[in-house]
Amino acid sequence: MKNYNYDEFSSNTYDLDNFYGPEVGKKAPNFSLSNIASEVVNLLDFTGEFLVLELGSITCPLFQGRREGMSDLVGLFPNVSFSVLYVREAHPGSNIPSHKSLEGKISCARNLNKDGEKRSILIDDINGSAHNGYGGYPNAVFIINRNGCVVFRSDWNSVPATKAALTRLLSGKPANNKSYFLPVKPTIAIKTLKRSGKGAAKDFFMGLPTLIWRNVIKRNVLLFLNVEKGIPPDAKC
């Protein structure tokens, strides 16, 4: 992707009308990634009954707003593996700029770990290969079974929906519940953007009207009218 690690956020960076991440019932792509110790790991090497994979970065208000709830899920579902795929900075600023090297990206992921992140952190390469392979959105979530099949996905993570999906899957039912877009608390958004530094808030608020229209209104209405697809928890693909 041209200019994958953008210096300034724009809503035009994302195709907010079409999400191209792997669909439910399709094989989850595997990638060689780095962990915070700079070791090479495979994305699909997990030990739980399912893998909950959330995409995020330290400058993404949506991701930061979901962290407490996702940490609660780690305790509620001890037989499930949870990982964060660390992607590009959603809202780079003067303090936390866009990544220029893999080492810089790993450093940001380490700061996330220092912030108390309970999940394993997997760092994508500098060109966003895994990020693009999973749709390229800043805060998507996928649930993958032991056969490497996607059994639930949402282009925007919703903790209640992810919890409901896990509950259904672990009881042997398809995760065909709907995942509506939920805005983050303003206090969390402001704190995240302030930490990122000068420039981050301006770019965020310039794109906010488009984000509200396409996600809070258009996406949620279309989702309400659609019937969600579901497959058995142990599906093979």
Give me the CATH number covering residue 83. Answer: 3.40.30.10
Judged against a pLDDT cut of 90, whether residue 229 lies above it is answered with no
Total structural domains within the chain: 1
- Classify residue 186 by burial, with Cβ atoms within 10 Å: 0-12, 13-18, 19+: exposed
The rounded percent of the chain whose pLDDT value lies above 90 is 90
**E strand or H helix that includes residue 195:** helix 186-196
Q: Is residue 233 part of a domain?
A: no
Q: What is the pLDDT of residues 131-152, one digit of tens each?
A: 999 999 999 999 999 999 999 9
Judged against a pLDDT cut of 70, whether residue 1 lies above it is answered with no
Judged against a pLDDT cut of 60, whether residue 124 lies above it is answered with yes
Q: Is residue 3 part of a domain?
A: no
- Classify residue 42 by burial, with Cβ atoms within 10 Å: 0-12, 13-18, 19+: exposed
Q: Is residue 213 part of a domain?
A: yes
**Which amino acid is located at 102 in the chain?**
L
Q: Is 181:158 a contact under the CB 8 Å cutoff?
A: yes
State the maximum Cα–Cα separation within the chain, in Å, rounded to a whole number. 48
Q: Is residue 107 part of a domain?
A: yes
Q: Is 152:235 a contact under the CB 8 Å cutoff?
A: no
- Classify residue 204 by burial, with Cβ atoms within 10 Å: 0-12, 13-18, 19+: buried
Cα 185 off chain centre by: 17
- The whole domain housing 32 covers 11-225
Task: For the chain, give the mean pLDDT.
Answer: 96
Q: Is residue 202 part of a domain?
A: yes
pLDDT value for 2 = 64
If you average pLDDT over residues 6-34, what whole number do you get?
Answer: 95
The DSSP code for 219 is: I
- Classify residue 130 by burial, with Cβ atoms within 10 Å: 0-12, 13-18, 19+: buried
Residue 228's pLDDT band (cuts 50, 70, 90): confident
Q: What is the pLDDT of residues 84-108, one digit of tens each?
A: 999 999 999 999 999 999 999 999 9
If you average pLDDT over residues 68-80, what whole number do you get?
Answer: 98
Buried b (16+ CB within 10 A) or exposed e, 57-84: bbbbbbbbbbbeebbebeeebeebbbbb
Q: Is 89:108 a contact under the CB 8 Å cutoff?
A: yes
Q: Is residue 105 part of a domain?
A: yes
Q: Which runs of E-coded beta strand occur in the chain? A: 32-34, 40-42, 50-56, 81-86, 120-123, 141-145, 150-154
Q: Is residue 178 part of a domain?
A: yes
30-34, 159-163, 226-230: range with lowest mean pLDDT: 226-230
Q: Is residue 193 part of a domain?
A: yes
* Closest CA relative to residue 49, chosen from 176, 141, 231, 171: 171
Radius of gyration over every alpha carbon of the chain, rounded to an integer in angstroms: 17
Q: What is the pLDDT of residues 42-58, one digit of tens each?
A: 999 999 999 999 999 99
